[in-house]
Structure 1
Amino acid sequence: MENTQSAAPGAQNGKSGYEVEQGLTAIVFPGMGPCNFADVGRYMVLDRYARRRLAAADEALGYSVLQRFRGTDHEYSEATQIAFLVNSVALADRAVDAMGLDPDLCVGPSFGQKAAAAFVDSLPFGDVVRMTAELARCEEEFFTAEYSDVITQSFVRTPEERTKEILAEMEARGEWYEISGYLDHDFYFVSVRESSLDFFKQRIRDAGGYSMYSMRPPVHARAFSALRRKVEEEVFARYDIGAPRIPVIADQNGTTVADAEAMRTMLLDTFDRPINWPDVVSALRRGGVTDLWFTGADNLFHRLDCTTRNFRVTAVTPKTALRPEK
């Protein structure tokens, strides 16, 4: 278990350190980052929670997820996405069963929505696995035909005003772009044409910023409304999405999702609405949350400044799950 302690606002200094206010707890299923068998394969083979979820995924799909995952070199292939989902839910199983987690709310930014849907029982785990595989195929088909030259670029250390200036330059040059994610006060996802990427990254460097990684297929842009309609008609129509057993905070705007229709809308919004993590943080703080548990292979959300400034953070990852228990 990786435990990053951050005193919540209102904490008071006591005799033996900080006496931190105790409020509600939220579980967070992180968005999907680069994932490969070399990093998580050992965890999936050895961890009892992962093996159980992996067996359920194999049954749902009719093939060995581990075997296909081992054989792929694509960071966002169908098998890679299923493996990331399996691991996120298995780590939540560990947190609940072995570590005493009993969350009051749930969040699933970006790809994490899928694991969240399983955790809050809006869909059975097997259905989430099948839906994830079908969505991966649907997206691959869409982006082969449409927006095949679009990349979502993540970058950090670029304040809001400088980011606006860079985007204004893009617009003045006639370059297409869309903001796909607001991660922190100086951290964004922006989707651009591949032909614009070098210029865009250079302007980020000129502003003192740092380009992180490029995502293909791209994500969370209003231009992808046709993808939203495609998945709604071809995939979502076959699944009965129910109300969550605990409230979910929508990653697009921080609203509370408490019924089946709102859950379905949130899952569809991920295709053509940007994520807004600061809005989620604000909603959690207003709701009295002081503790966040991240379950999944996350190198991003649990480390963001707006996360660590506002919550006590516990990260349960494939790496920490394999550490000897004390």
Structure 2
Amino acid sequence: MEENQNTTTEAEQGRTAIVFPGMGPSSFADVGRYMVLDRYARRRLAAADEALGYSVLERFRGADDEYSEATQIAFLINSVALADRAVDVMGLSPDVCVGPSFGQKAATAFVGSLPFADVVRMTAELARCEEEFFSTQYSDVVTQSFVRAPKERTMEILAEMEARGEWHEISGFLDSDFYFVSVRESFLDDFKQRIRAAGGYSMYSMRPPVHARAFGDLRRKAEDEVFSRYEVAAPRMPVIADQNGAVVTSADDMRTMLLDTFDQPINWPDVVSGLQAEGVSELWFTGADNLFHRLHCTTKNFRVTAVTPKTALKPAKKS
């Protein structure tokens, strides 16, 4: 009788997923102390330095671009190091993995589809690849995030733009009223004004832009110049694709998901549905995340634990 009761409790608890968040602003001032003091971060930092042949911390300290190569590498290091801590110290044993947007890179290392050193090198090479691409193509495009905009009115605004020949792409569906939309920078102020008039709130602009179907040439460039030199393996646990919530278990599907990030919008509500279909009831976010773990569709459907550089430096509570 007692054994059956324990089994029921375990089933009710559901499965656990680890989530590596997409990249947001994360400066040296924000996370430098964590990278210097935390033993897991120091270990991953040393491995990244060896893989790249330069000091990531020194370049990160001097970076003045929030999406520079060194900044991206630092975000990757911290996400993986926080996962190390969650597993080693906090008892995390995930059944499923997710990596929306930039988080795909840390997820790729965590599930063993590429060794960490290869993910570091690939991330650096992709940063250079994107910088080169956007210096000559779509250099006037930004991706704007906004929230509290009713879906019906948002779609009307986008339809009005299309009717007038104003280029745009939906780059992300984050929640029922939360979107990423890529627009020409010359139209950005007008677009933000329309969103404001609809009751929405504009958050931040991303440069370079992300996840737009128009960036097919970037996808091909990345595949030819970067991915062609890496052999992506099947993940050691199921991964939920951030574009459509599909379950990824093969090497081919993992590689496709990584390439889809260039020219397919992310869809977090689909990820939520995919996680629920896998029986997941608890999410652990490992990384400097100010977005995904706070979304309404996240918090209303899962128990959420956020492991960030700030929480990692807090003294352990005495029992």
TM-score by length of 2: 0.96
Aligned-residue offset at 1:195: 1.0
> How many Å apart are 1:287 and its aligned residue?
1.4
Cα deviation digits, residues 189-228 of structure 1 (max 9, x gap): 0000011101100000000100000000000000000000
* Alpha-carbon distance between aligned partners in 1 of 2:291 and 2:304, rounded to the nearest angstrom: 13
Report how far residue 173 of structure 1 moved: 2.1
Amino acid at match of 1:273: Q
> What is the CA–CA distance in structure 2 between the aligned matches of 1:199 and 1:166, rounded to whole Å?
11
CA distance in 2, matches of 1:63, 1:218: 27
Quote the offset at 1:157 in angstroms.
0.1
Matches of 2:25 and 2:85, distance apart in 1: 22
Task: Find the counterpart in structure 1 of residue 125 from structure 2.
Answer: 134
Instruction: Tell me, in whole angstroms, the C-alpha distance in 1 between the residues paired with 2:69 and 2:275.
Output: 32
Q: CA offsets, 1:134-166, max 9 Å, x none?
A: 000000000001000000000000011011011
Counterpart amino acid of residue 109 in structure 1? P
* Structure number with higher relative contact order (C-alpha < 8 Å, ≥ 6 residues apart): 1
Find the partner of 1:161 among 152, 159, 164: 152
Match of 1:216 in 2: 207
Q: Which residue of 1 aligns with 2:51?
A: 60
Hey, which bits of structure 1, 4+ residues long, moved more than 3 A? Answer: none
Given candidates 22, 42, 46, the residue that maps to 1:51 is: 42
Deviation at 1:174, TM superposition (A): 1.3
Question: In the alignment, what sits opposite 2:238?
Answer: 247
C-alpha displacement at 1:21, in angstroms? 3.3
Matched with 1:35 is 26
1:97 maps to a residue whose letter is: D
Secondary structure in structure 2 of the residue aligned to 1:21? helix
**Would you say 1:84 and 2:75 are equivalent positions?**
yes
Equivalent residue for 2:314? 323
* Equivalent residue, structure 2, for 1:305: 296
- The residue aligned with 1:192 is 183
Task: List alignment gaps of at least 5 residues for structure 1.
Answer: 1-18
Distance 2:42 2:160 in 1: 50
Q: What is the DSSP-based 3-state SS (H/G/I as helix, E as strand, rest coil) of the residue aligned with 2:97? A: strand
Tell me the distance in 2 between the aligned counterparts of 1:245 and 1:164.
39
Gaps of 5+ in 2: 1-9
> How far apart, CA to CA, are the structure 1 residues paired with 2:134 and 2:265?
18
Secondary structure of 2:204's counterpart equals strand
Does residue 1:107 correspond to 2:98, yes or no?
Answer: yes
Q: Distance in 2 between matches of 1:102 and 1:52?
A: 21
Helix, strand or coil at the partner of 2:143 = strand
Supply the distance in 1 between the matched residues of 2:311 and 2:232 (Cα, whole angstroms): 32
Aligned residues: 308
Structure 2: how far apart are the matches of 1:170 and 1:195? 13
The SS at the match of 2:89 is helix
Q: Secondary structure at the match of 2:182?
A: strand
Cα distance in 2, alignment partners of residues 97 and 35 from structure 1: 24
The alpha-carbon deviation at position 102 of structure 1 amounts to 0.4
> RMSD of aligned C-alpha atoms?
1.0
Q: Distance in 1 between matches of 2:50 and 2:278?
A: 39
Alignment partner, residue 170 of structure 2: 179
